[in-house]
Chain A
Amino acid sequence: MKEISILIGGKAGDGIRQAGQTVSTLLNRIGYRIFFYDDYPSLIRGGHNFSIIRASEKRIIAHKDSVDIIVALNKDTAEKHKSRLNAEGMILYDSKAVDTEGVGIDFMQIVKQLDGLPIMRNTAAIGALAKVLGIEWPVVERVMKDTIEKQVALNLNIAQLAYEKVGTSRFVIEKLDQKSLPLVSGNEAIALGAVRAGLNMYIAYPMTPASAILHYLAAHEDDLGVVTVHPESEIAVALMALGAAYAGARSMVGTSGGGFALMTEALSLAGQGEFPVVFIECQRPGPSTGVPTYTMQGDLSFVVHAGHGEFLKVVLAPGDAEEAFYLTGLAMNLAWKFHIPTFVLSDKHLSESIFSFAADPDKIKPEPPLIWDGQGKYKRYLDTQDGISPLAFPGDPAATVKVTSYEHDEYGITTEDPDQIARMQEKRLRKKEGLIDELAKNEQVKIYGNRESKTVLLCWGSTKGACIEVAEQLGLKVVQPLVLKPLPIDPLRQALSDADMIIGIEVNATGQLAKLLSGHGFGIDHMILRYDARPFTVDGLLDKVKEVIS
Chain B
Amino acid sequence: MAIKDYLRERFFPHLWCSGCGHGIVLNSLLRALADLGMSKNEIVMVSGIGCSSRISGYVDFHTLHTIHGRALAFATGVKLSRPELNLLVPMGDGDALAIGGNHFIHAARRNIDLTAIVMNNRIYGMTGGQYSPLSGQGIMATTAPYSNIDYDFDTVELAKAAGATFVARSTTYHTQQMTKMFRQAILHEGFAMVEILSQCPTYFGRKNRAGSAIDMMESYKENTTPIGSKSKMENPDLIERGIFVQKEVPEYCNEYDKIIEKAMKGR
Contacts and interface: CB of A to CB of B under 8 A. Distances in A.
Contacts of B77: 201, 203, 239-247, 249, 251
A101 interface: no
A394 interface: yes
B195 to A, nearest CB: 21
A369 to B, nearest CB: 15
Interface in A48-80: none
Given A239-B77, A247-B77, A402 B62 contact: yes
Given A239-B66, A244-B78, 7 more contacts: A221-B263, A236-B103, A273-B64, A394-B41, A395-B82, A400-B61, A403-B65
Contacts of B106: 231-232, 236
B62 to A, nearest CB: 4
A231 B44 contact: no
A406 B65 contact: yes
Given A221-B263, A239-B70, A241-B77, A400 B60 contact: yes
Interface in B1-54: 8, 11, 39-42, 44, 46, 49, 54
Contact of A402 (B63, B67, B82, B264): B63
B233 interface: no
Nearest to A222: B263
B103 to A, nearest CB: 6
A79 to B, nearest CB: 46
A221 B42 CA distance: 28
A240 B78 CA distance: 7
20 contacts: A221-B259, A231-B76, A231-B106, A235-B73, A235-B102, A235-B103, A239-B103, A243-B73, A244-B77, A246-B64, A247-B82, A394-B78, A397-B39, A400-B40, A402-B63, A403-B65, A404-B65, A413-B8, A413-B11, A414-B65
B41 A397 contact: yes
Contacts of A413: 8, 11, 57
B78 A247 contact: yes
Contacts of A265: 67, 70
A15 interface: no
A174 to B, nearest CB: 41
Contacts of B54: 414
Interface string B82-100: 1011000000000000000
A244 B66 contact: no
B230 interface: no
A229 interface: yes
Contacts of B39: 397
A243 B73 CA distance: 8
A395 B73 CA distance: 20
Contact of A396 (B41, B64, B267): B41
Interface of A: 200-201, 203, 221-223, 227, 229, 231-233, 235-236, 239-249, 251, 265-266, 269, 273, 393-397, 400-406, 412-414
Contacts of A227: 80-81, 256, 260
A240 B65 contact: no
A231 to B, nearest CB: 7
Contacts of A251: 77, 81
Contacts of B65: 402-406, 414
5 closest pairs, A vs B, by CB? A243-B77, A240-B77, A239-B73, A394-B62, A249-B81
A414 B84 CA distance: 28
Nearest to A408: B65
A249 B81 CA distance: 6
> Chain A binding site: helix, strand, loop or mixed by DSSP?
mixed
Nearest to B46: A243
Contacts of A406: 65
Interface in B233-267: 256, 259-260, 263-264, 267
B262 to A, nearest CB: 9
A222 B267 contact: yes
B75 interface: yes
A243 B64 contact: yes
Nearest to B70: A239
A236 B73 CA distance: 5
B153 interface: no
B4 to A, nearest CB: 15
A236 B80 CA distance: 13
Nearest to A268: B67
A249 B65 CA distance: 19
- Residue with the highest number of chain B CB atoms closer than 10 Å, among A200, A235, A243, A400: A243
Contact of B78 (A233, A235, A243): A243
Given A222-B267, A242-B74, A413-B11, A232 B102 contact: yes
A236 B75 CA distance: 10
A55 B62 CA distance: 56
- Residue with the highest number of chain A CB atoms closer than 10 Å, among B41, B42, B102, B259: B41
Given A222-B267, A413-B11, A414-B57, A236 B76 contact: yes
Contacts of A269: 66-67
B80 A231 contact: no
Nearest to A394: B62
Contacts of B74: 239-240, 242-243, 246
- Residue with the highest number of chain A CB atoms closer than 10 Å, among B39, B46, B57: B57
Contacts of A248: 81-82
A420 to B, nearest CB: 14
B249 to A, nearest CB: 19
Contacts of A249: 77, 80-81
A265 B67 CA distance: 8
B31 to A, nearest CB: 20
A248 B54 CA distance: 24
B102 A233 contact: yes
Nearest to A248: B81
Contacts of A239: 66-67, 70, 73-74, 76-77, 103
Contacts of B85: 247, 394-395
B264 A235 contact: no
Contact of A395 (B42, B64, B263): B42
Contact of A221 (B41, B82, B260): B260
A248 B78 CA distance: 9
Nearest to B47: A404
A405 B63 CA distance: 11
